[in-house]
Amino acid sequence: DAGVIQSPRHEVTEMGQEVTLRCKPISGHDYLFWYRQTMMRGLELLIYFNNNVPIDDSGMPEDRFSAKMPNASFSTLKIQPSEPRDSAVYFCASSSGQGADGYTFGSGTRLTVV
Amino acid sequence: ILNVEQSPQSLHVQEGDSTNFTCSFPSSNFYALHWYRWETAKSPEALFVMTLNGDEKKKGRISATLNTKEGYSYLYIKGSQPEDSATYLCAFEPGTALIFGKGTTLSVSS
């Protein structure tokens, strides 16, 4: 398996633009998580899905953020409109179940909003 | 708000030294405690998942212990090597998604 695949690796965009981050989880993993990494707050959970259904989105900062998982092999995290404070590394991770072998993380997307 | 605290924030040791870090987590609603190793420019990789009070796990020179009643876990590295330099994250699992600490960054000099 190629692991969790995220794209793009780096994104630089102007304030106000729409940004879409993509994730392909490991085949057979029922859980998919989106985390954001910042120096101040560390790894923060944004949202997670179980069998393609959003379970907890309480970490999504505001209405500018949205996430979808249209099928078991694909998820998107969208920011519209983007702001400089959204600059961070966004990680996608997948897991086969609670308390299982741990999460497998993608390589992350480094987002810079100027 | 569920909080996971790690200490120290950073640590610098010499090659061959043994070291340990602490992770404190809520003692209620416990399901599992995870440890991850995160090298610069890479993504976190799972080291251990522990679920039972008193659990001890070992992988090579790295080991971890778990006390769910008092809410702490220790990670030990015996005979540190430069390749052990990384950030070590612990994460508390209350039966939902993982809640991560901010990590302990270890630097090992040769």
Question: End-to-end CA distance of chain B, in Å?
Answer: 41
pLDDT higher than threshold 70 for residue B107: yes
Is some CB atom of chain A closer than 8 A to the CB atom of B40?
A: no
Specify the pLDDT at position A62: 84
A30 to chain B, closest Cα gap in Å: 13
CB contact under 8 A, A42 and B102: yes
Of A42, A91, A98, the CB nearest to B43: A91
Specify the pLDDT at position A98: 63
Mean pLDDT of chain B: 95
Per-residue pLDDT tens for A6-21?
999 999 999 999 999 9
Residue numbers in B near A98 (CB within 8 A): 31-32, 93, 95-96
Closest-approach residue (CA) in chain A for B9: A42
Residue B104 to residues A45, A82, B5, B23, B95: CA-CA distances in angstroms? 19, 31, 10, 9, 24
The confidence band for B2, taking pLDDT boundaries of 50, 70 and 90, is confident
Of A35, A98, A105, the CB nearest to B95: A98
Specify the pLDDT at position B1: 65
Amino acid at the residue B28? S
pLDDT higher than threshold 90 for residue A32: yes
Is some CB atom of chain B closer than 8 A to the CB atom of A106?
A: yes
Is some CB atom of chain A closer than 8 A to the CB atom of B44?
A: yes
- B37 alpha carbon, distance to own chain's centre: 8
pLDDT higher than threshold 90 for residue A97: no
Average pLDDT over residues B56-62: 96
Is some CB atom of chain B closer than 8 A to the CB atom of A103?
A: yes
Specify the pLDDT at position B43: 92
Is some CB atom of chain A closer than 8 A to the CB atom of B93?
A: yes
The confidence band for A2, taking pLDDT boundaries of 50, 70 and 90, is confident
Amino acid at the residue A3? G
Exposure of A11 in the CB half-sphere (CA atoms within 13 A): 25
Per-residue pLDDT tens for B4-52?
999 999 999 999 999 999 999 998 889 999 999 999 989 999 999 999 9
Closest CA to A88 of A44, A25, A54, A24: A44
pLDDT higher than threshold 70 for residue A108: yes
Specify the pLDDT at position A1: 67
Per-residue pLDDT tens for A55-70?
999 999 889 999 999 9
B8 to chain A, closest Cα gap in Å: 15
**Beta strands A19-24 and A5-7, pairing class:** antiparallel
Of A55, A99, A108, the CB nearest to B32: A99
pLDDT higher than threshold 90 for residue A88: yes
Closest-approach residue (CA) in chain A for B46: A102
Specify the pLDDT at position A59: 92
Is some CB atom of chain A closer than 8 A to the CB atom of B71?
A: no
